[in-house]
Amino acid sequence: MAVLHDLLIAPFVEFAFMQRALLGTLMLSVSAAPVGVFLMLRRMSLTGDAMAHAILPGAAAGFLLYGLKIIPMTLGGLIAGILVALSAGAVSRLTVQKEDASMAAFYLISLAVGVIMVSLRGSNIDLMHVLFGTVLALENDALTLIGLVTGITLLAFLVFWRALVAECLDPLFLRSVSKLGSPVHFVFLGLVVINLVAGFQALGTLLSVGLMILPAAAARFWARRVETMCLLAMVIGALSSICGLLLSYHAALPSGPTIILSAGFAYVASVITGPRGILVTRLPNTAHRTA
């Protein structure tokens, strides 16, 4: 019992930075993971990754003007994410190019511009902070921001749940029976942006999408209903956060990547052993055909 206490509980009891990191990542799991489920069901997972990179120039602009301060970097990232989303949408509607291609183009431009902007003033350490986050250095302001985003996201799900599900599964039907089709789509894109901005505080621009996509992708192998997938994605995200923080503490590994790697392990395990995974859906069929 003493060994288990030292391994699993003591780090969170003895160190305030571990408590803040745990609180921040748990809130991100509750907020971002359900958004990831809808991204996955809409086949927009790579769009989420592109949006995560798109916030970098805005965050870098805030860094250039005010240094590593939360509010300027957050507002800059939010503005940049919205601008890239609107620009990609405009290009796809006004030209022959599809939205995925225009989004990829804008996110590559944004990533390059953001890295150059950070490099103009900051050191390599500052660049690593912006790209990969510092989950063990979360301050009260960052936790307040993450908590606010979590509250907004849960409230939006409560109000727009039926419309979000309908728009996700059959957008044409929703637009034929209701005027909520387009507004709900923009509400959802707004949730994606604010959750990526919140995740940026802990995991940086390159990894903030990890707690959004990986738990959701893992949950897909265990559940069929959207509600169940969202709840399971929250649980997987929370467990990945706990395991990643503990592993990074005991093995002296970088915390953000270790959290995402833990979520990646949960995804691989789900692919293999889940009720909708390889072992259940493929091997029995193979054995039956052989017989």
* Amino acid 105: pLDDT: 83
* Amino acid 290: pLDDT: 45
Number of domains in the chain: 1
* Amino acid 181: pLDDT: 65
Model confidence pLDDT, tens digit, residues 52-65 = 878 888 888 888 88
- What values do phi and psi take at 151, rounded to 5? -65, -45
Model confidence pLDDT, tens digit, residues 50-99 = 788 788 888 888 888 887 778 888 888 888 888 887 787 778 777 877 76
Q: Is the dihedral of CA 168, 173, 177, 178 positive or negative?
A: positive
Q: Is 277 left (phi over 0), alpha (psi -120 to 50) or beta?
A: beta
* Amino acid 143: pLDDT: 93
CATH classification at residue 45: 1.10.3470.10
* Amino acid 103: pLDDT: 77
Burial 214-243 (b: 16+ CB within 10 A, else e): bbbbbbbbbbeebeebbbbbbbbbbebbbb
Q: Give the Cα separation of 91 and 288 in Å (integer).
A: 50
- What values do phi and psi take at 21, rounded to 5? -65, -40
DSSP string, 49-82: HHHHHHTHHHHHHHHHHHSS-HHHHHHHHHHHHH
DSSP string, 197-253: HHHHHHHHHHHTTHHHHHHHHHHTTT-SSHHHHHHHHHHHHHHHHHHHHHHHHHHT-
**Contact at 8 Å (CB) between 288 and 169?**
no
DSSP secondary structure letter of residue 25 = H
Q: List the domain range (segments joined by +) for residue 59.
A: 2-290
Q: What are the per-10-residue average pLDDT scores of the chain (291 residues)?
A: 82 93 95 93 79 82 80 86 79 75 80 82 70 84 93 95 83 68 80 89 84 94 94 97 95 92 96 90 57 45
- What values do phi and psi take at 252, rounded to 5? 55, 50
* Amino acid 288: pLDDT: 47
